Amino acid sequence: MVTYAGRVTDSDEYQIRRFRAGLQDGTVSPETEAWLQAVNRGFHEQAFTPKTLRREAEFIRADDRLMTGVYVDATPVHSVGAEVPVATFTTYTSTLSTGETLLPAHLISDVTVRPTHRRRGLLRRMMTESLTAARDAGLPIAALTASEATIYGRFGFGVATQTSTIELDTTSRFALPSLDRGAVGTVELARREAIAEVAGDIFARFHAATRGSVGRQASYPARIDGTINGHADEPDLTVRAALHYDADGTPDGCVTYQHVESRDAVSEVKVIDLVATGPDSYLGLWNFVGNLDLIQRVRYDAARIDDPLPWAMADTRGYRVTGRDDRLWLRILDPLTCLQSRRWSGDGELSLAVEDPLGLAAGTFDLGVSGGVPSVQQTAAAPRPDADVTVDVASLGSAFLGGATIGALADAGRIRGGGTAVAQLSRMFAVDRAPYCITHF
């Protein structure tokens, strides 16, 4: 029996195997196929066809993902065979942008546990082992996007970025007068196939400059240009694309979109993906989408929570926020590296104790900022009770890039400190814009 922080997993009943996607001459290995079909079942998706299975295996290979499967020795007659894992988990290394630098990040995805094996500690076991291995390999931070908000806090993940779902009224109310005040560039319809050629370069520029952005996986061009069309073999040809060009004619922004059936008979377009490298390309692309003929409404589910768009509109009431969701969850593994890599705004000095239920990132740190330049040192391997400020590791993940303010976390009871220490940390951590992530993984 193996115990994981109070939960017991019978190690004789379950075997964990880790492997890379098996793909030889276009043939997916049986182990990889069984694993991919298990992921599909976990997310209630349709089974792969031979073509979509091969494509998925190629993407997983291109990301160099480490696939984890949990297996049982035998299964009853007529049931799914023992070659199909009862739990799945993948990890791969990508980058997280702090706006200053790209931090190597341990990305976690495809987390499923079969309903007949749930709540026996399998997720806890896969997660604990994976985070420990990542920390031991020197990766400073782990990241995921979550199907439910109640699962990952216990493993030290905190919500780090959020996005809004917005609806734009694009009838005659829509106008962007600020575009006439010197915005540079043009927009043109693009061939759908062009997205695969240019989207990577445009995203790379956005990624480097945008605090909270996560590097995209190999499947992204196919996800945004309609090539991946549910589990159909053929692409979704209703997807359209447009590019924004800078003054030199270089693409510096792209949008993909499609006309959709709305519930209330309003003619509607859904923006699938919009990547802009600066304010001119951002407003230029929205001006294009907002002026599509025959369209009365545009919907987008990944807008910045501090979106400049309504501030550029003549009629701000034509912009409605209909929802807000957590996007990126961060789990700090190495506080020293993370704290040194972020931008600091206010000068000051204080000690910070980090609590961690898994013990991976716990410690006490001296933070000093002078002229915006940080100096961070670890002074103890455990959180010291006499530190100026104490924070749990999940809250530090939320505060790291400015997604949650120190003040809000303190009022929520998640950061504690005496005297003026919390207010001082708040000034030191302050950021000018909310972090933003448009990568789903």
Ligand X SMILES: CC(C)(COP(=O)(O)OP(=O)(O)OC[C@H]1O[C@@H](n2cnc3c(N)ncnc32)[C@H](O)[C@@H]1OP(=O)(O)O)[C@@H](O)C(=O)NCCC(=O)NCCS
Catalytic annotation, residues: 152, 441
Q: Is 328 in the site for ligand X (CB under 6 A)?
A: no
Tokens of 213: 């952005």
Amino acid symbol at 102: L
The verdict on whether residue 413 carries a ligand-binding annotation is no
Q: Is 361 in the site for ligand X (CB under 6 A)?
A: no
Q: Is 17 in the site for ligand X (CB under 6 A)?
A: no
* Least Cβ distance, residue 277 to ligand X (angstroms): 30
The verdict on whether residue 285 carries a ligand-binding annotation is no
* Least Cβ distance, residue 271 to ligand X (angstroms): 24
The verdict on whether residue 111 carries a ligand-binding annotation is yes
> Which residues make beta-bridge pairs with 22?
none
| Between 37 and 426, CB nearer to ligand X | 37
Residue from the set 65, 106, 124, 327 that interacts with ligand X by CB under 6 A:
124
Restricting to residues 19-58, which ones interact with ligand X according to CB under 6 A?
A: 42
> Which residues make beta-bridge pairs with 349?
368
The verdict on whether residue 205 carries a ligand-binding annotation is no
| Between 65 and 120, CB nearer to ligand X | 120
Choices 90-98, 118-126, 176-184, 251-259; region in contact with ligand X by CB under 6 A: 118-126
The verdict on whether residue 144 carries a ligand-binding annotation is no
Residue from the set 17, 20, 119, 191 that interacts with ligand X by CB under 6 A:
119
Residues binding ligand X: number (CB under 6 A): 18
Residue 269 CA, distance from chain mean position: 24
* Least Cβ distance, residue 6 to ligand X (angstroms): 7
Choices 48-56, 117-125, 224-232, 427-435; region in contact with ligand X by CB under 6 A: 117-125
Site string for ligand X, 137-156 (x = CB under 6 A): ---------xxx-xx--x--
Give dist(CA 230, CA 213) in Å, integer: 25
Residue from the set 21, 39, 122, 168 that interacts with ligand X by CB under 6 A:
122
Find tokens 């043939």 and name the residue: 27
Q: Which of these, 274, 313, 322, 311, lies nearest to 291 by C-alpha position?
A: 313
> Which residues make beta-bridge pairs with 258?
270
| Between 152 and 206, CB nearer to ligand X | 152
| Between 70 and 376, CB nearer to ligand X | 70
The verdict on whether residue 112 carries a ligand-binding annotation is yes
Give dist(CA 25, CA 2) in Å, integer: 40
The verdict on whether residue 121 carries a ligand-binding annotation is yes
Restricting to residues 76-115, which ones interact with ligand X according to CB under 6 A?
A: 111-113
Q: Is 172 in the site for ligand X (CB under 6 A)?
A: no
Give dist(CA 52, CA 222) in Å, integer: 12
Measured in residues, the chain has a length of: 441
Q: Which of these, 232, 216, 213, 214, lies nearest to 224 by C-alpha position?
A: 216
Tokens of 334: 């190495």
* Least Cβ distance, residue 126 to ligand X (angstroms): 8
* Least Cβ distance, residue 302 to ligand X (angstroms): 17
The verdict on whether residue 425 carries a ligand-binding annotation is no
Residue from the set 123, 139, 272, 422 that interacts with ligand X by CB under 6 A:
123
Give dist(CA 110, CA 170) in Å, integer: 37
* Least Cβ distance, residue 218 to ligand X (angstroms): 20
Residue from the set 121, 158, 290, 363 that interacts with ligand X by CB under 6 A:
121
| Between 89 and 286, CB nearer to ligand X | 89
| Between 18 and 192, CB nearer to ligand X | 18
Q: Which of these, 387, 393, 386, 391, lies nearest to 359 by C-alpha position?
A: 393
| Between 111 and 239, CB nearer to ligand X | 111
* Least Cβ distance, residue 421 to ligand X (angstroms): 30
Contacts (Cβ under 8 Å, ≥6 apart) of 328: 143, 145, 159, 160, 161, 212, 214, 403, 435, 437, 439
Annotated binding site: 111-113, 119-124, 147-148
Contacting positions for ligand X (CB under 6 A): 7, 42, 111-113, 118-124, 146-148, 150-151, 154
Annotated binding site for acetyl-CoA: 111-113, 119-124, 147-148
